[in-house]
Structure 1
Amino acid sequence: MVAGWFTDYTDYTDDGDDGDGVDFRLLGTRCAACASVFFPREDSFCRNPACGGGELVEVPLSKRGRVWSYTDGRYRPPAPYVSDPDAEWEPYTIVAVELEAERMVVLGQAVPGVRVTDLAVGMEVEVVPGVLNENAETVWTTWHWRPMGAPS
């Protein structure tokens, strides 16, 4: 949905491969001076108040992490959230995931079909490409969290 927040997911197509988004990653930035990692990415300055560094390098973030918290979204979010206002609203599951290497928490939706009753704090999940919304002209892509061992 936001350019530069995740890798291009052209591998996530119906081209005969397993469509699991193997190369799909969230993209952050790392400060060259203090090694702080940021997501969403930062391209202007180091957000670490103790650092005066300014050189930021794009880095792929960990593909896996552990559920830190979760809840469900039972209302239609306001704009700029993209959804068909005429379609019946379906609740979705929101997951806060602590990434393995970065030790930071990233929010995102769970893959469709995963409900809060399917999750537990500490459960291992992985980031996969997903569809936020689509129409005849556009597919709005995003990331989803999928419990390890769950079907694609």
Structure 2
Amino acid sequence: MTTDGEARLVGGRGAETGSYFFPKNMAFSRNPSAPSEEIAEVHLSARGRVWSWTTNHYQPPAPYMPADPFVPYTVLAVELDEERMVVLGRLAPDCDPATLTSGVEVEVERGVLYEDDDNQYMVWQWRPVATEVAR
């Protein structure tokens, strides 16, 4: 994910096939029809549409760093606009998952996953576009 300016996911794109990959891995192509193609770093679409979602009501095991007390969180599967690939990420914590529907437009943003005394640990998250779903 980019760390300044507009939040964008960073992936790769094959020079021969045009296939997109996420997360970024510049070492090799994950396309079996062109395993030796060169991969270029690309910023992926900032918007997409909800394909599916689920809310986790259990606390994952370590190394997950839960809030105290644990708060359920929602994970979205989002089909990116241009790339037509599905990327998972959490729903912004201040958004109500009960308002989600398949196909609703969302945009990626940066969020704080957790903090300790020295650092903030950032993560990408999805937020419904304001015109489609109320916060």
Equivalent of residue 62 in structure 2, options 79, 101, 106: 79
So what's the TM-score if we normalise by structure 2? 0.91
1:16-65 deviations in Å (ceiling 9; x for gaps): xxxxxxx1100000111211110011221111111133311110000000
Match of 2:26 in 1: 43
Change in 2 beyond 3 A, CA 1:137/1:115: same
| 1:121 correspondence with 2:116 | no
1:48-84 deviations in Å (ceiling 9; x for gaps): 1111333111100000000000110111112332335
For structure 1, list consecutive stretches of 5 or more residues without a partner in the other structure: 1-5, 12-22
CA distance in 2, matches of 1:7, 1:66: 20
Task: State the identity %.
Answer: 46
Residue 151 of structure 1, CA deviation: 7.5
CA distance in 1, matches of 2:119, 2:87: 26
Coordinate RMSD, CA, aligned? 1.7
Match of 1:7 in 2: 2
CA distance in 1, matches of 2:54, 2:104: 14
So what's the TM-score if we normalise by structure 1? 0.81
CA distance in 1, matches of 2:96, 2:57: 12
For structure 2, list consecutive stretches of 5 or more residues without a partner in the other structure: none
CA distance in 2, matches of 1:41, 1:81: 22
Equivalent of residue 105 in structure 1, options 47, 61, 86: 86
Could you tell which deviates more after superposition, 92-101 or 46-55?
46-55
Classify the secondary structure of the residue corresponding to 1:48: coil
Matched length = 133
1:1-26 deviations in Å (ceiling 9; x for gaps): xxxxx1013x5xxxxxxxxxxx1100
1:79-135 deviations in Å (ceiling 9; x for gaps): 332335xx1100011111000000000000001122321100000000000010001
Higher share of residues assigned strand: 2
Runs (4 or more) in structure 1 with deviation over 4 Å come to: none
Contact 1:72 1:93 in 2 (8 A): yes
